[in-house]
Amino acid sequence: MKTAVCLFLSIIFALTLNAQAVPGHGLIPETSTVSIQIPQLIRQTKSLTKATAWALDSMLSYKSTNNQMQLYRKMFVKAVDQYANPYKLITIILDNNTNQWINSDSTIMSYYAHDKTHTLLSFSWNKCNNQWSDTTHYKELTESKKYITYIFRNWDYTNCKFTSGYKHSYTINDDGNYDSILIFKLDTANNVWVKSKKKTYFYYTENLIYNILEQKWNHNKEQWENYQKIEDEYNQDKQLITENYLVWNNIKKQWQYSMQKVLSYDNNGWLINIVTKHWDYINNKWVNSSRILIHYTANTQTTTYQSWDANNSQWVNTSQFIFNYNNTGKLLEQIDQLWDSNNNKWDNTDKYEYVYDSADNQTEYNYYQWNTGSWVLKSQDKFFYSQMSYNGIASVKMNIKISPNPAYNELVIYGLTKGEYKITTLSGKTLMHSKLHSNRINIQALPSGIYILEIKNDNKKYYSRFIKL
């Protein structure tokens, strides 16, 4: 059942690593539980009246067997939506015993923000009766704009039954942010969902999170009880600088510190340092635990992980990840390394390689392992596309100045500080809609592409086109 998740991991990795990682919830709360984000497969032309897209058709997966690459998995896209995002897929795998291709997974998706997954339904092939497993159970998913449900259940291929599972139900406010998340566990004996946890989000007026309250469900008392709380602090540039984790002391009936993350940025606003500390209950102070250092060059990002050596009061290297990009910001390769403390040097372990065609579509994902001084290819995914066209908006009057353009993180607007803004795709689909409180708009959450900014102020509308890198 996890096959559908793995199919797009290589493409997703290439896109998500281009953004700065923020610990905890950061700018995208609960990233570990948000449903899969299938990559933006649309490649738009500069024309406002017509756009061209390359839709993903299929994927072939190879793995190294006896030093030879052998095909073992195929994925086919059965249907795409108007933005070329796949929403019906089927995966087949090679049965080593019979040497025949058999069904593995069937996946159905829908999207709520152009390429952000709204629902993800993954069905495993039931070998016992040759049919897809329990598809009727997923009809409970809601398709409204303010309610998102993500369901995942583990399928036992041998005994043909579900062994475990969870469900996350998200409520979304008018600004497109999480209000709350309800987490359920699957009661396999009775085939029902049982309450487990709840997270409630609280925001400043600038849509910045300042508090996340996490509670657990007490089945005996039939009520929610405090479990954990996260408190955030920001600098004047609205960047997260401190994240405090507190746990509920049920005996004292009060919150107490548990962990802290302190973030630092360079003069360009790029995240360069994340220090994690734990609370020393005996001495009532913060104690260093681990650190992440991020270094940027023109086309390279190096992320180094270190742990705190309390005996010698110094940071010690543990692992390192090197990301290399091309001139357009596409991830070309990731190299993983481990620190050799005996020889004081980094040793290569793994490499992930990404290959693109002239239209910027990812065509290959290659995984290597380091062996006796050279990289050895262990697995490979190949992606295939077809071309499609669709009509966009007829015309847009550009009458407001913004910078930078192209932009990575935010837009600066000249001449306006109040009003209501909306960001749409070239075809008119709204991705962001909120009030304007200053002359800056954070666009980090947008995928790369061409967009239209519309600002309404005093019954007048202003427009500008921009590129998000």
Examine the domain organization and report whether 341 and 450 are in the same domain: no
Instruction: Give the model's pLDDT for residue 133.
Output: 66
Q: What torsion do the CA atoms of 338, 341, 342, 347 make, to the nearest 10 degrees?
A: 20
- The rounded Cα 201 to chain-centroid distance in angstroms is 19
Q: Which residues contact 222 (CB under 8 A, 6 or more apart)?
A: none
Q: Which residues of the chain have pLDDT under 70?
A: 1-54, 81-84, 111-121, 133-147, 157, 174-176, 387-399, 405-406, 426-427, 448-450, 469
Examine the domain organization and report whether 379 and 413 are in the same domain: no
Residue closest to 11 by CA, chosen among 101, 82, 67, 77: 77
Examine the domain organization and report whether 275 and 385 are in the same domain: yes
Written as one string, the DSSP assignment of 81-98 is: -TTS-EEEEEEEEEETTT
Examine the domain organization and report whether 353 and 433 are in the same domain: no
Q: What tens digit of pLDDT does each residue of 67-111 get?
A: 899 999 998 888 776 666 777 888 889 988 888 888 888 887 776
Q: CA 343, CA 177: separation in Å to the nearest integer? A: 48
Examine the domain organization and report whether 304 and 453 are in the same domain: no
Instruction: Give the model's pLDDT for residue 453.
Output: 87
Q: Would you say 449 and 40 are in contact if contact means Cβ atoms under 8 Å apart?
A: yes
Phi, psi angle pair for 122, to nearest 5°: -120, 120
Instruction: Give the model's pLDDT for residue 157.
Output: 66
Is there a domain that residue 321 lies in? yes
Instruction: Give the model's pLDDT for residue 367.
Output: 96
Instruction: Give the model's pLDDT for residue 206.
Output: 76
Q: Would you say 40 and 15 are in contact if contact means Cβ atoms under 8 Å apart?
A: yes
CA distances from 301 to 19, 86, 182, 294, 338 (A): 11, 30, 36, 7, 17
The b-or-e profile of 426-436 (16+ CB within 10 A means b, else e) is bbeeebbebeb
Q: Residue 419 is part of a domain; what is its CATH number?
A: 2.60.40
State which H helix or E strand residue 291 sits in: strand 285-296
Is there a domain that residue 396 lies in? no
Q: CA 184, CA 192: separation in Å to the nearest integer? A: 9
Examine the domain organization and report whether 385 and 460 are in the same domain: no
Q: Would you say 440 and 453 are in contact if contact means Cβ atoms under 8 Å apart?
A: no
> What is the domain range of residue 407?
402-468
Q: Would you say 239 and 265 are in contact if contact means Cβ atoms under 8 Å apart?
A: yes
The verdict on whether omega for the bond into residue 404 sits within 30 degrees of 0, i.e. cis, is yes
Examine the domain organization and report whether 255 and 311 are in the same domain: yes
Examine the domain organization and report whether 361 and 438 are in the same domain: no
